[in-house]
Every structure is written in structure tokens, then in C-alpha cells.
Amino acid sequence: MSIFDSFKQLNELRQMSDEIKKEEIVVEINGVRLIVDGSMVLKNISLNPDISIAEQEKAIKDCFSEAAKEVQSRMAKKFMPGAR
């Protein structure tokens, strides 16, 4: 493998990474909705006034965990096409 092939591969990885960063992941649990980008930066949060603060806190944590799993899954699919 030549150095040019290495640079080409590096460029392709950067492009895939940039694509993932631009994606938005939306997760909703119990009416609490989180939107994060592929870098796990929180873009928006919507709360549900019909549930208690404790339930909202739990839903936020669960949404964020679910979003993190989704980002990891999408990254695996991009970087390892055979992954599920």
C-alpha cells in the first residue's frame, strides 16, 4: 500500500465521519423528546408537562442512552458494512 493509498483511505474515513456528524437522531420516551447529532451534541429537548419531574429526568437519561446506542450503531454500519 502506497502513501497515496493511505491518504485516500484517511480522506474517505474523514468524509464518513463528517456524514455521521451531520445526521440527527431523534428519540422519544414518555413524551420526552431528544434530538442529538452524530457527535452526540444535544440539539433540542422537549419535555412532557404531564409527567413528574422524576419521570422526565429518567426519560431524558433513557433517551440519551438510546441516542448514544443509535449513534454507535450508525457508525458501525458506516465503518464496517457487515456490522448490524
State the cell numbers at 40.
452526540
Complete domains list, the chain, with CATH: 3-79 (3.30.1310.10)
Tens-digit pLDDT profile for residues 9-49: 788 778 877 777 788 999 999 999 999 998 889 999 999 99
Radius of gyration of the chain (CA): 17
Q: Please report the DSSP string for 33-82 in residue order.
A: EEEEETT--EEEEE--TTS-HHHHHHHHHHHHHHHHHHHHHHHHHHH-TT
pLDDT greater than 80 at residue 4:
no
**Model-level pTM?**
0.73
Q: Which residue has the cell 451531520?
A: 22
Q: Which residues of 20-30 are buried (b: 16+ CB within 10 A; e: fewer)?
A: beeeebebebe
